[in-house]
Structure 1
Amino acid sequence: MGYRRTPEELAAVRATLADVEFVGGESLSVDFLTRPDVVRDILPAELDPGAEPRVTVQVSRWRSSCVGDFAASAVYVSASHRGVAGDYVLTMWMDDDVPLLFGRDLYGEPKKIGTSTLWRNDGHMTGALERHGTRLVEIEADLGPDRGPTEVVGRNFNVKYELCPGGDALAGPPTLMMAEFAQRTTLVRKGPAVLRLTGTVHDPLDDLEVLELRDAVYVETGMKATCVPLGPMDPDAFLPLALGRSDHWPALATAHLPG
């Protein structure tokens, strides 16, 4: 095992990435409706807004066939591409660099490092995300009885791209990606929710105005994942969104040059 993979190691990598599975999942999520203009502003031009201006906030934890155990949070925006409905991944946070690198390098997911936690006390459940000392997300829910198992296929839209070193352009056209998740859910509980979103200059979640909050959903689930490229995108149009996915570098200056 070294910095140059052997043919046997390459074959093992291909076999692992050809059969990606996430198991033992616990997820607490909540949907809300926001303004249609907010949705249009945060979606790439190549995606259409979904049937309603829905945003989903999720806190979860998983085991996997490829990146170990991890906890995560994410924000999704309802969208479609050429009539295929799914969710655009606006932002994600992982608690470790391995799932971060997997999702970002392979699928184009907009991942950062953050600490996600789930607590359950009988029917009351809380999910929270913290990053750099700020609690960005908190979901509280009073869950009803189990509604039984389900099987669904979820679709996420992501973007793979490379910034030029000066940050003034993209190094070629980005690629719109679509990930599919064949999900087998063994437990589903729903109930009234409270959602608290806090914004920072790096994670401006408070820009997402909540107009109508829906019930929270808690699931215990597993899923198989696949991902395919859908085609090239306009690099100039996507640049502002690409820079919005990263932290705001001017706010991170700790040294000031003379002059």
Structure 2
Amino acid sequence: MARVRYGARTEAEIAAARGSVSRLPDIWSTGVVAVWESDPDAVAAVLPPPLKPAERPLVRANISRVELPGYPLGAGSVAVAAVHDGVAGWYPLVMPMTHERALTAGREVFGEPKKLGEASVDRDGLVVRAALARHGIAFVEVRGAVDGPLPLPKPSQKTDFYYKFLPAVDGRGFDADPVLVHCVRTEKVRRLERITGDVVLRESMYDPVADLPVRRVVEITLGEKTTDQKGRVVERVSARALLPYIHQRYDDPLQILDGPPEGSV
């Protein structure tokens, strides 16, 4: 009988697959990172327990073009500064990806809030535009001009916080207690430039980052970077405490009931 590819793999094939992942070369991306100060109450409102707000109510948009072998990937995230058990990091609210392959691995392994969407980074001379879009709405747009090179930082570690869970089969709660994941990324930078510009947030029912207004732009940069990542489960969390926040992960039809704040554009 011919090989049935949906059939079970041998232990040797499983080991070979794991080994090939560990030998992947550095994958470099070109991306824009914008950080801004927002409303402290708004930032605190999006953090599920046991995450706590950081000292400064910062929001970060990361928009990248990744040169994956065989096909380019658009990737991005919008995250708020947070602290857990003395560890400072970022809690991503949405992570648009242009390909399903990047989406499923992150969601299933780490609990990343990835969704199919668009992420674009364009440069024309000194002019730079980067955007995250879903459902035809560019809900985050960063615009500006290159204002000169920046010193290259040393390799550094950054932590993202994720909640990994499975909604219950009967639609009530979870199948098991959710877990909080610390995902630590080691980042190397080979090029970094300062951008003078602004951040535009647009109203979107499905990606309401406009609720995290830009009070003051802290920095905008354009860089070429590579990262690796390792995750670990740090604790099980209260299902009851997390349940009110799981709509962050999905395009929930009931969001039609969530009207935009007064005065939003």
Say whether the fold is shared (TM-score over 0.5): yes
Aligned to 2:67, the other structure's residue is in SS state strand
Task: Flag the 1:157–1:22 CA change in 2: closer, same or farther, 3 A.
Answer: farther
- Residue among 48, 51, 61 paired with 2:52: 48
- Shift of residue 199, structure 1, vs aligned partner: 2.5
- Shift of residue 146, structure 1, vs aligned partner: 1.7
Task: Flag the 1:132–1:110 CA change in 2: closer, same or farther, 3 A.
Answer: same
- Residue matched to 2:123: 120
Please identify, of 18-27 and 217-226, the stretch whose mean Cα deviation from structure 2 is larger: 18-27
For 1:145 and 1:233, how far apart are their aligned partners in 2?
45
- What is the root-mean-square deviation in Å for CA atoms of aligned residues? 2.1
1:74 equivalenced with 2:58 (yes/no): no
For 2:157 and 2:12, how far apart are their aligned partners in 1?
33
State the percentage of identical aligned residues.
Answer: 26
Aligned to 2:15, the other structure's residue is in SS state helix
Q: Letter of the aligned partner of 2:44 in structure 1?
A: R
Q: Letter of the aligned partner of 1:125 in structure 2?
A: V
- How many residue pairs get matched? 251
Deviations 1:106-146 (A, max 9, x none): 11100100011111012221101221222222111212222
CA contact (8 A) 2:53 2:81 kept: yes
- Shift of residue 68, structure 1, vs aligned partner: 6.2
Q: Letter of the aligned partner of 1:124 in structure 2?
A: V
Task: Flag the 1:193–1:162 CA change in 2: closer, same or farther, 3 A.
Answer: same
- Residue among 39, 42, 45 paired with 1:38: 42
- Shift of residue 64, structure 1, vs aligned partner: 4.8
CA contact (8 A) 2:92 2:160 kept: yes
Task: Flag the 1:18–1:236 CA change in 2: closer, same or farther, 3 A.
Answer: farther
- Residue among 93, 96, 113 paired with 2:96: 93
- Residue matched to 2:12: 8
- Structure 2, unpaired ranges of 5+: 257-265
Task: Flag the 1:57–1:96 CA change in 2: closer, same or farther, 3 A.
Answer: same
- Shift of residue 238, structure 1, vs aligned partner: 0.7
For 1:161 and 1:69, how far apart are their aligned partners in 2?
29
- Residue matched to 1:203: 207
- Residue matched to 2:262: none
- Residue matched to 1:173: 177
For 1:53 and 1:19, how far apart are their aligned partners in 2?
38
- Shift of residue 6, structure 1, vs aligned partner: 2.4
1:23 equivalenced with 2:27 (yes/no): yes
For 1:131 and 1:50, how far apart are their aligned partners in 2?
28
- Residue matched to 2:189: 185
For 1:172 and 1:60, how far apart are their aligned partners in 2?
34
Aligned to 2:28, the other structure's residue is in SS state strand
For 1:12 and 1:64, how far apart are their aligned partners in 2?
21
Deviations 1:191-227 (A, max 9, x none): 2221111222211122112211223111101112111
CA contact (8 A) 1:183 1:223 kept: yes
Task: Flag the 1:21–1:75 CA change in 2: closer, same or farther, 3 A.
Answer: farther
1:228 equivalenced with 2:232 (yes/no): yes
For 2:160 and 2:22, how far apart are their aligned partners in 1?
18
Task: Flag the 1:180–1:73 CA change in 2: closer, same or farther, 3 A.
Answer: same
For 2:198 and 2:249, how far apart are their aligned partners in 1?
26
Task: Flag the 1:153–1:144 CA change in 2: closer, same or farther, 3 A.
Answer: same
* Runs of 4 or more consecutive aligned structure 1 residues displaced over 4 Å after TM superposition: 16-22
Task: Flag the 1:21–1:35 CA change in 2: closer, same or farther, 3 A.
Answer: farther
Aligned to 1:145, the other structure's residue is in SS state strand
For 2:22 and 2:83, how far apart are their aligned partners in 1?
26
TM-score normalised over the length of structure 2: 0.87
TM-score normalised over the length of structure 1: 0.89
Deviations 1:200-258 (A, max 9, x none): 22111221122112231111011121111111011111112112220013469xxxxxx
Q: Letter of the aligned partner of 2:74 in structure 1?
A: A
- Structure 1, unpaired ranges of 5+: 253-259
